[in-house]
Amino acid sequence: MKITVFSEYGEGFRTNEEILKQHPRGLHETLRELFEGEGFETKAVYQDDHEDGGRLTDEILQETDVLVWWGHCMHEAVSDALVDKIAARVLGGMGCIFLHSAHMAKPFRKLMGTSCTLRWREINERERLWVTAPYHPIAAGLPDRIEIAHEEMYGEYFDIPKPDEVVFTGWFQGGEVFRSGVTYMRGKGKIFYFQPGHESNESYHNEWVRKILVNAVRWAAPSEPVGEPRCCFFVGDPPEKIK
């Protein structure tokens, strides 16, 4: 299985001391090292202040089995042409994991067909992540709840279509709740959105969060080679005789 990690890596990410403490070589490298350490063939690409996502080339995308996408504030700089290619690839069977602020990523919004807006508060507060679908493969090997010491609050209402599964529900110290881990099928492709992962917090170093991410890419991996999206085709002979 080939995993491609995509994240933002603008000037602010290269100079912010709080971010550098958690991700010295960029968030994309933190995630790449996680997946590579689990034996996956992993490539990391990033979007800086002067690019539209062009580092995610057609060649890389065509070789990707699971795309892991982290975004923050540069969503609109991603070209519509790239978004269309990603969506087509998902419909053809590529898995896609959208992390944290990637709820506003253009590929996620295209695949969901809704605004994907939510309530948020940037305060380092405690999050308790409840496993609400304990038999789902993404929840394999987890306790019934996970404590995350510091996380950015995301709260309902989260404007997404009804999920196939709500694997995790988050409760925050300030009282809000959130559908923090949800799954979808789009065409032949599997999609997982996962809320924890604010760039200046230690969430991606939490052992249970890391296990969730590894479980997620295994779940999202295509069971057969990724192909083209299914198209309309003419059927000449009906299965039953028409009188």
Query: What CATH number corresponds to the domain at position 97?
Result: 3.40.50.880
Report the run of H or E that residue 10 belongs to, with start and end: none
pLDDT at residue 100, rounded to an integer: 95
Amino acid at 200: S
Give the contacts of 168 (CB within 8 A, at least 6 positions apart): 129, 130, 131, 132, 133, 139, 179, 180, 181, 194, 195, 212
* Distance between CA atoms of residues 110 and 190, nearest Å: 15
Task: Tell me the backbone φ, ψ of residue 52, rounded to 5 degrees.
Answer: -105, 15
pTM of the model: 0.94
pLDDT at residue 20, rounded to an integer: 87
pLDDT at residue 122, rounded to an integer: 81
pLDDT at residue 15, rounded to an integer: 85
Q: Would residue 151 count as lying in a domain?
A: no
What is the count of structural domains for the chain?
1
pLDDT at residue 59, rounded to an integer: 95
Q: Would residue 237 count as lying in a domain?
A: no
Q: Would residue 143 count as lying in a domain?
A: no
* Distance between CA atoms of residues 52 and 45, nearest Å: 12
Q: Would residue 133 count as lying in a domain?
A: no
> What does pLDDT average to over the chain?
93
Tokens describing residue 232: 């309309």
Tally of CB atoms within 10 A around 223: 7
Q: Would residue 38 count as lying in a domain?
A: yes
As a whole number, mean pLDDT of residues 162-182 equals 97
Out of 43-52, 146-155, 180-189, 211-220, least confident range:
43-52
pLDDT category, 45, cuts 50, 70, 90? very high
Domain that holds residue 64: 2-113+180-220
Q: Would residue 88 count as lying in a domain?
A: yes
pLDDT at residue 196, rounded to an integer: 96
- Asked whether the predicted pLDDT for residue 17 surpasses 90, the reply is no
pLDDT in tens, 113-168: 999 999 999 878 999 999 999 999 999 999 999 999 999 999 999 999 999 999 99
* Distance between CA atoms of residues 34 and 40, nearest Å: 9
Give the contacts of 235 (CB within 8 A, at least 6 positions apart): none
Q: Would residue 186 count as lying in a domain?
A: yes
pLDDT at residue 228, rounded to an integer: 86
Q: Would residue 174 count as lying in a domain?
A: no
- Asked whether the predicted pLDDT for residue 238 surpasses 80, the reply is yes
